[in-house]
Amino acid sequence: MKLYDSPFAPNPRRVRWVMAEKGVTDIEIVALDLMKGEHKQPDYLTKAGLPQLPALELEDGTVVTESIAICRYLESRYPEPNLFGRTPEETAVIEMWLRRAEFLVATPMMQWVRHTALPLAVLETQDPAVAERQQAEGLKGLEVLDHHLAGRQWLAANRLTIADIAAFIGIDFARLIRYRPPETLINLCRWADVMRARPAAKAGMAG
């Protein structure tokens, strides 16, 4: 298998994190340079269909895109440690918090960064109004997580799950604009420190 990857982008980092948690080492990493537009070249577009990363090319030539879809596939191939749920009830709660993590936090935080960080201007036309709106939405989402994490170590179960990974990576991407959650979000900061300290947090990170 081959994983088409970029060490700077948040969505490929989800896959690398899951691989690291599961100890997956038998997937070839093919790094593409987003700044040079390598994800827009015909050879890659023929495989992936869209100029987006990550993409996982399976042994039979099937190409899976979308980071969560790839992570679900890896969960099926490498079931331990479990990140998506062991029972129907647990799976449903993890899915709920995964979607909240994406919609309330990861997506707005990533959009805020993409429309703010000057080096990313080569990827799209930045819009300060979009940045301001997404910043406000993302910061509200952080308050939701902070409230939920009161008395809890993890977002969706009694262990790390894909919901924690998706939420933290979305937040941590804002390091590109020198943002870290304020200390007043006590529960969120405690949880983020635990996430940041995990060995998998450094999986494939550039710099």
* Cα→Cα distances 28→1, 3, 24, 57, 148, Å: 6, 6, 10, 10, 38
Strand partners, 63: 57
pLDDT value at residue 41: 96
Q: In the chain, which residues fall in CATH 1.20.1050.10?
A: 88-199
pLDDT value at residue 206: 56
pLDDT value at residue 104: 98
Give domain 2-77's CATH number out of 3.20.10.10, 3.40.30.10, 3.55.40.20, 3.30.420.40: 3.40.30.10
CA 156 – CA 95 distance, rounded (Å)? 8
pLDDT averages per 10-residue partition of the chain, 207 residues: 94 97 97 94 95 97 97 98 98 98 98 95 94 98 98 97 98 96 97 97 72
pLDDT value at residue 203: 86
Q: Check: CB of residue 76 under 8 Å from CB of residue 26.
A: no
Q: In the chain, which residues fall in CATH 3.40.30.10?
A: 2-77
Q: Domain 88-199 is in which class?
A: mainly alpha
Q: What confidence tens digit (pLDDT) does each residue in 109-152 have?
A: 999 999 999 999 988 899 999 999 999 999 999 999 999 999 99
**Two tokens at 177?**
């604009």
Q: Which residue has the tokens 């008395």?
A: 151
pLDDT value at residue 207: 47
HSE-CB of 83 using CA atoms within 13 angstroms: 28
Q: What angle do CA 106, 107, 111 make, to 5 degrees?
A: 115
**Count of beta carbons in the 10 Å neighbourhood of residue 48:** 19
